[in-house]
Structure 1
Amino acid sequence: MVADREIVISRAIGAPRELVFEAFTQVRHLSRWWGPEGFTTTTRSFEFRAGGVWDFVMHGPDGTDYQEWITWSEIVPPERIAMVHGESRDDPNAFESVLTFEPAGEETRIVMRTVFPTKELRDEAVEKYHAIEGGEQTLRNLAAYVTELTGNGTTPNGTVPKGAEG
């Protein structure tokens, strides 16, 4: 049974799906919003493609560094990203996450479904690492970031969005 090994977090974000998806595709975006409140990110390497890796360190507000490693297992722009996330390439406790980006009128509903190898690892993530609150904060940071991008009249790549010309 998967239900006792998974965490599902979702949020409506007031931006077009393509823009929300794009915020995941480049490290210059990710480094601005990734992680719970108070965390910062230092990237060692980043390649956004199926089989590509994001090797990074998250710096907690208390000064603790967390080694992180993600490999992208599936990328279907702009609707789905699947990844394996652990501390390192060979982490036996790595977990799988699938993010879906669903258009919802003027907004985008992002759903983050994470499945852990065991119920115990899921429970530890929730109790010790506050995975649910952290996931909610991460999506809140993403929402604030893309809202900021849309508020200045340009998309992250510097082009003017369709319909916003002149």
Structure 2
Amino acid sequence: MTSESTKNREMHMFRVLNVPIDLVWEVWSKPEHISQWWGPSGFTNTIKTMEFKAEGDWIFIMHGPDGKNYPNHSIFKEIIPFKKIVFEHFNPHFITTVLFEAKGDKTEMDWTVVLDSEEILQAVIKNHNALEGLKQNGEKLQNYLSHKFNVS
């Protein structure tokens, strides 16, 4: 989803997940799964609301390893089953687009986060180690899939 107009204010991750797309979709679309893997290493989640549909609310609390709670609110903007999830997050404001493509028994996942400005991007990288957090989120997803569905 990179474009020249957003390149200086976005974070991006691409991963090949070692499971079929239907399993990847399941762990993205159901709160009982996403609560188990969402967020950087050491974080856990309490999902308050997850209306997995266009204009549906996603409200949850991330519990940090430092003992602090981090309330989150997003709205799903677009969902194309087995293809695309777009959500708008508030405070800080950003748009996340995750694209999925089936590749046999594997799934390609292309994850882009676009913030409102380069300054905000740099602040979340500096203050929250957001680039590393995005990478860890992808690793936690792969680990959850591996353990949940017994694949390597």
Q: TM-score, normalised by structure 2?
A: 0.92
Give deviations 1:28-55, integer Å, cap 9, x for gaps: 0011111111001112222111100111
Deviation, structure 1 residue 112: 0.7
Contact 1:83 1:97 in 2 (8 A): yes
Q: Secondary structure at the match of 1:141?
A: helix
Structure 2 CA distance, aligned partners of 1:77 and 1:21? Answer: 8
Contact 1:9 1:132 in 2 (8 A): no
Are 2:10 and 1:6 equivalent residues in the alignment? Answer: yes
Structure 2 unmatched runs, 5+: none
Max Rg structure: 1
The correspondence of residues 99-118 of structure 1 with structure 2, limited to 5 A, is: 99-118=98-117
Deviation, structure 1 residue 99: 0.1
Structure 1 CA distance, aligned partners of 2:112 and 2:65? Answer: 26
Q: Which residue of 2 aligns with 1:22?
A: 26
Structure 2 CA distance, aligned partners of 1:149 and 1:65? Answer: 26
Q: Secondary structure at the match of 1:137?
A: helix
Structure 2 CA distance, aligned partners of 1:123 and 1:63? Answer: 25
Structure 1 CA distance, aligned partners of 2:102 and 2:130? Answer: 26
Structure 2 CA distance, aligned partners of 1:126 and 1:12? Answer: 24
Q: Which residue of 2 aligns with 1:155?
A: none
Structure 2 CA distance, aligned partners of 1:150 and 1:28? Answer: 15
Structure 2 CA distance, aligned partners of 1:66 and 1:150? Answer: 29
Q: Give aligned pairs, total.
A: 147
Structure 2 CA distance, aligned partners of 1:147 and 1:94? Answer: 32
Deviation, structure 1 residue 105: 3.5
Structure 2 CA distance, aligned partners of 1:33 and 1:126? Answer: 21
Q: What is the one-letter code of the residue matched to 1:36?
A: P
Q: Secondary structure at the match of 1:38?
A: coil
Q: What is the one-letter code of the residue matched to 1:5?
A: R
Structure 2 CA distance, aligned partners of 1:112 and 1:126? Answer: 16
Contact 1:100 1:110 in 2 (8 A): yes
Q: What is the one-letter code of the residue matched to 1:76?
A: I
Q: TM-score, normalised by structure 1?
A: 0.84
Deviation, structure 1 residue 149: 2.4
Contact 1:36 1:135 in 2 (8 A): yes
Q: What is the one-letter code of the residue matched to 1:62?
A: D
Deviation, structure 1 residue 140: 0.8
Structure 1 unmatched runs, 5+: 88-92, 153-166
Deviation, structure 1 residue 104: 2.7
Aligned-residue RMSD, C-alpha: 1.3
Identity among equivalent positions (%) equals 33
